[in-house]
Chain A
Amino acid sequence: MNFNQYIEQEQFSLSKSDKEKHFFNLLNKLNSHHLSNSDDYKKISSIYFNKKENVSTIESVPFLPVSIFKNKLLTSVSEQNIYKILKSSGTTGSVPSQIVLDKETAALQTLTLSKILSHIIGKNRLPMIIVDSKAVLKDRKSFTARGAGILGVSVFGKKHLYALDDDFDLLKDQLKEFAEKYNGQKILIFGFTFMVWQYLATADLDFEIDLSNAILIHSGGWKKLQSMAVDNQTFKKTLFNKYNIQPENIYNFYGMVEQVGSVFLENSEGYLHCPNFSEIIIRDPEDFSVLPHGKEGLIQILSIIPKSYPGHSLLTEDIGVIMGEDDASNGWKGKYFKILGRAKKAEIRGCSDTFKK
């Protein structure tokens, strides 16, 4: 299967043996592309990973730390072919990641996201509610992960309603009006997990708002909610009780600006599922050796999409565990996993930081 045939495959349709063969093939081609086109990647591959040539297994593809994009601009295309540089910071004020896109990779990014999302929302754009304030998009040059996420998903909706005002208060009347206007039609709701919980799920309502036709996609992690003892089940149940949103239409998603093509959607088991374009490997933090399913470690994500920059194989700072493969009850094929948390930011400070804020 060549690249074009591969990306046209129905999502979540490839079982282990098929995926292993075709995915690795394409990944290996992409790896040799980066070896020939990025001197930085080539040096890292040879010096850190001792691999001067192409590799023979998916596990032996070198990986870059995801934080490198905060420190270095890495590229595998010539300067005149750079179409845009995605900038995104995790939180306001932190150093943004910079991702180099050429036209081809930018188009593929949109295409892959669309392939994955259309698997659950269908091919048509849906009326869309964004659980955030428009203010989050104010600075168009450098988005926070929240802003970037909203923009990325917005293209799958129409008639966008930003459901929060600048003080993050829920615009209840507008929300009710919107729900009634599109009553009986499928609508899309998107927001960051914490925002959805804090400002939608637990908002005080004086009247009923029925969102029973909504598909809710949320992202951003559970860390804040965990500290409030809110788990996925409570999250879904609260939204069901309050807005009648069907639990099976609520999808968590995990992805990052640093790796285009990698969008992991929640499957029927409540775990994050690898799309055809991506694969994950769990590595032992002690020596980066590969861990079997069921063992927790650092999450490595691999994607066949990033061609304009060497981001096809990244080691995240997230800790996770593979929960299964090919056997989700909704029929999705591929590996699925859960995230257990993030490596505590190594708070290692030197003598020379009394002054730095």
Chain B
Amino acid sequence: MITGIIPHKQFKSVQELPALNTSSYFIDVADNLIINFLNDLSKSILKESFFKPEPSFIALGFWLRRTNIRRILTENKYIENSSAFIVKPIGKVFHLCPSNVDTMFIYSMVLALLAGNKNVVRISSKLNNDYIFKLFELFNDLLEREDYKSLIEYINVVTYERSDILNEEISSQVNGRIIWGGDETVNQFKQYKTKPKVKDLFFTDKVSLSLINIDNEDDFNRDFDHIINKLYNDIYTFNQKGCSSPHSLFIVSKSKNKQSILYKIYQGLSELASTNYDEDISSIASLKLNQSVIDIIENRVTETLNSSNYITFSKLESTTVPHSCGAGYLYYNLLENIYDIKPYIDNKTQTITYTGLSKPQIIDLLDTLDVEMVDRVVPLGTALDFDYIWDGYNIFMEMLSFKSIK
């Protein structure tokens, strides 16, 4: 049994899903109907006070606004500017979403929609995030409007208990799949029968880090509150469990005071988290104590800062950067030079959030790394800011089909 969330009804088979049961396409790439729909969705989100406590949904609200969607189209203008080809949607797209509180999958669905595709989104039956369900409600409300009614053939959100049969049935009928969920899920989906030419975007296991470069300690001290606020947002949004949430922190400085800089950052985060982070403290205290003890037993960590259970810093013994348990647990090391970070980077590294680096320095650093390494280098505070370029894909462009015309 498939439970429809958009639209709200039960489906006996995948054929009954509006996005899969019809062959007519009536939406163009960057269709005004879609842009209007997204803009109205943005308005509903931003005026809904329910979302106020959850900045990631407010950010989504802003991202959906007409001005931002136009920016994406402008930045991808070249795709419409050719006399050699025209662009069309690829067709039907299956989205698989993670069960954490991440809103990433909404963005990927919106991009596929903007490209004119029909979408089936499967959310985990474990998902119990009120904000996401509220968001789906807003979708449903809009889809009841006369002008948007027809879009029900373009936006279907469903849930079902884990089922290889249903996963495969949907996989075999679509032209594209966007699979969030890490290596294990990706490998599972690679085994399903699909159309030979299905376009797959796979989001695999990644780990992200923060780099704080301090050339001048006075500057650092002056900007301290800002830096801490941004670092806090990067770490604690989605309980540090987004793929782009930093799991380790590298402080780069020539100063002899690196240890006291570290303490100061620890203290700053601890104060901010103790007033702002509202996850149940007893559970996260147990979680982090357990992670610390495992890290110590496994010789991964030789020093820890743990005077507050809102934040734990564990000093890395080797250059392998593990996944942290989340909820404010960071591995760290103190470095002399920005290039000292290279050993900690590998092809699992997704996002580097930074402060104190210039663009030429970043490009220089990337040039010394393998092409496979690092998908994203962005300023501190923007770790969770989604954009259409993600994990090395231009998701919008990937959802298009190019027809050559000579």
A residues neighboring B (CB under 8 Å): 40, 43-44, 47-48, 64-65, 67-68, 71-72, 285-288, 297-298, 315, 317, 319, 343-346, 348-357
Complex Cα spacing A270 to B307, Å: 35
Complex Cα spacing A223 to B16, Å: 42
The chain B residue with its CB closest to the CB of A62 is: B293
5 tightest CB-CB pairs across the interface, nearest first? A352-B182, A354-B181, A343-B282, A346-B283, A355-B185
Contacts of A47 in B (CB 8 A): 296, 301-304
The answer to whether residues A351 and B286 also contact, given A47-B301, A357-B162 and a CB cut-off of 8 A, is no
**Among B100, B206, B306, which residue has its beta carbon within 8 angstroms of that of A353?**
B100
The answer to whether residues A350 and B326 also contact, given A287-B309, A357-B162 and a CB cut-off of 8 A, is yes
The answer to whether residues A355 and B285 also contact, given A44-B297, A68-B290, A346-B279 and a CB cut-off of 8 A, is no
For the complex, is B96 an interface residue (Cβ under 8 Å from A)?
A: yes
Q: How far is the CB of B170 from chain A (nearest CB, A)?
A: 14
The answer to whether residues A286 and B281 also contact, given A47-B304, A350-B323 and a CB cut-off of 8 A, is yes
**Among B104, B184, B290, which residue has its beta carbon within 8 angstroms of that of A352?**
B184
**Among A43, A297, A344, which residue has its beta carbon within 8 angstroms of that of B283?**
A344
| Number of interface residues, chain B, beta carbon within 8 A | 55
Complex contact B304–A48 (CB within 8 A): yes
For the complex, is B377 an interface residue (Cβ under 8 Å from A)?
A: no
Complex Cα spacing A319 to B239, Å: 22
Complex contact B285–A353 (CB within 8 A): no
Complex contact A354–B185 (CB within 8 A): yes
Besides A351-B104, A351-B205, 11 other A-B contacts (C-beta < 8 A): A43-B296, A44-B297, A47-B302, A65-B290, A287-B309, A317-B286, A346-B279, A349-B98, A350-B182, A350-B243, A350-B323
The answer to whether residues A351 and B180 also contact, given A43-B296, A47-B296, A287-B309 and a CB cut-off of 8 A, is yes
The chain A residue with its CB closest to the CB of B308 is: A287
B residues neighboring A (CB under 8 Å): 96-100, 102, 104, 124, 162, 180-185, 188, 203, 205-206, 239-243, 274, 279-287, 289-290, 292-294, 296-297, 299, 301-304, 306-310, 323, 325-327
Complex contact A348–B241 (CB within 8 A): yes
Contacts of A287 in B (CB 8 A): 307-309
Q: How far is the CB of B273 from chain A (nearest CB, A)?
A: 10
Complex contact B181–A285 (CB within 8 A): no
Contacts of A345 in B (CB 8 A): 283
From DSSP, what is the main secondary structure of chain A's interface residues?
Answer: loop
The answer to whether residues A68 and B294 also contact, given A286-B274, A348-B287 and a CB cut-off of 8 A, is yes
Complex contact A65–B293 (CB within 8 A): yes
Complex contact A348–B302 (CB within 8 A): no
Complex contact A354–B280 (CB within 8 A): no
The chain B residue with its CB closest to the CB of A63 is: B289
Complex contact B98–A351 (CB within 8 A): yes
Complex Cα spacing A350 to B284, Å: 15
A-B contact pairs, 23 of them (CB 8 A): A43-B296, A43-B297, A48-B306, A65-B286, A65-B293, A68-B290, A68-B294, A286-B281, A287-B307, A288-B285, A288-B309, A298-B286, A319-B282, A344-B280, A346-B284, A349-B99, A349-B241, A350-B243, A351-B104, A351-B181, A352-B181, A352-B182, A355-B188
The chain A residue with its CB closest to the CB of B241 is: A350
Complex Cα spacing A356 to B99, Å: 10
Complex Cα spacing A264 to B299, Å: 36
Complex Cα spacing A348 to B188, Å: 23
Complex contact A354–B301 (CB within 8 A): no
The chain A residue with its CB closest to the CB of B302 is: A47
Q: How far is the CB of B366 from chain A (nearest CB, A)?
A: 23
Contacts of B102 in A (CB 8 A): 351
Q: How far is the CB of B358 from chain A (nearest CB, A)?
A: 30
Complex contact B294–A72 (CB within 8 A): yes
Q: How far is the CB of B177 from chain A (nearest CB, A)?
A: 13
Contacts of A71 in B (CB 8 A): 290, 294
